[in-house]
Amino acid sequence: MHRGGKVYDEFCDALVENCVIWNDWGRSLEIGAETRAEKIENIIYRKCDVIHVLSSVLDCQNVDYADVNNVLFEDINIETDELIPPPVYQRNDAEVYKINRLDHMPAAINVSVMFHQEYSAGGKRRGRNRNIIFHNIRVYGSHTPPVCVYGYDAEHKCENILISELYLNDEKNISSSGKLAHRRSYRKRVNRIRSICEYG
């Protein structure tokens, strides 16, 4: 973390509130991807409307070594389009964008500890995510979005993740069985209360 030409090893006590987000690349409300700090904690995203998405919406993508702790996403509205074009990296000027998937649906929630070839900058240290709450999240659209929670290994995991009051088109208790990512599923105490996702 840099501020005023100085390097800091923590980022704490931040509030993002009453924002309207239009996202046409990357994640919408995110901690990460770069997380080069000893700790990132006490972060609140509240009363925001995300009106256009292409990738994960509420995201904690920890690709470095931060201890991410005590994060709240609350009272968030997410609008999804009928057709969401998947993001694609353009490798050269002659490459033409083609929509080759008509079923692309970004994750409404993504919490992960991972290595990323570009953003981890070759670093060997991994962090962890803990005590992250998603409360009163309302998704509007025709498809149930995935929810992804996974850690890096047994030491660098996601724990105490609570998803409470997750709605699809103002309906709660909608099962999206099979939508939870199990890849490198190092996670502990992932709970739901009246959520659209079932956890195994």
pLDDT beyond 90 at 182: no
Q: Structure tokens of 38?
A: 């000893």
The pLDDT of residue 87 is 80
Residue 116 and residue 33 in contact, taking contact as beta carbons nearer than 8 Å: yes
End-to-end CA distance of the chain: 36
DSSP 28-79: SEEEEE---SSEEEEEEEEEEEEEE-SS-SEEEEE-SS-EEEEEEEEEEEEE
Q: What mean pLDDT value characterizes the chain?
A: 82
Rounded to whole angstroms, the Cα distance separating 110 from 32 reads: 11
pLDDT beyond 70 at 192: no
State the amino acid at position 127 in one-letter form.
Answer: G
What are 77-132's pLDDT values in tens digits?
Answer: 999 988 888 888 788 999 998 887 788 888 899 999 988 877 777 678 899 999 99
The pLDDT of residue 73 is 97
Place 29 in a pLDDT band, splitting at 50, 70 and 90. very high
Cα 182 from chain centre: 15
The pLDDT of residue 4 is 64
Mean pLDDT in residue range 132-157: 89
Strand-pairing partners, residue 158, are 129, 187
The angle at the Cα of 149, spanning 148 to 150, to the nearest 5 degrees, equals 120
Cα-based distances in Å from 2 to 26, 63, 119, 133, 156: 22, 18, 16, 27, 25
Cα 120 from chain centre: 17
The pLDDT of residue 176 is 43
Place 36 in a pLDDT band, splitting at 50, 70 and 90. confident
- Counting residues of the chain whose pLDDT is more than 70, the rounded percentage is 81
State the amino acid at position 16 in one-letter form.
Answer: V
Strand-pairing partners, residue 139, are 78, 168
Top-confidence residue, 118 or 8: 118
Neighbours of 56 (CB within 10 A): 24
Mean pLDDT in residue range 168-175: 71
pLDDT beyond 50 at 196: no
Mean pLDDT in residue range 40-49: 97
In residues, how long is the chain?
Answer: 200
Top-confidence residue, 70 or 34: 70
Rounded to whole angstroms, the Cα distance separating 105 from 157 reads: 25
The pLDDT of residue 115 is 84
Strand-pairing partners, residue 135, are 74, 164
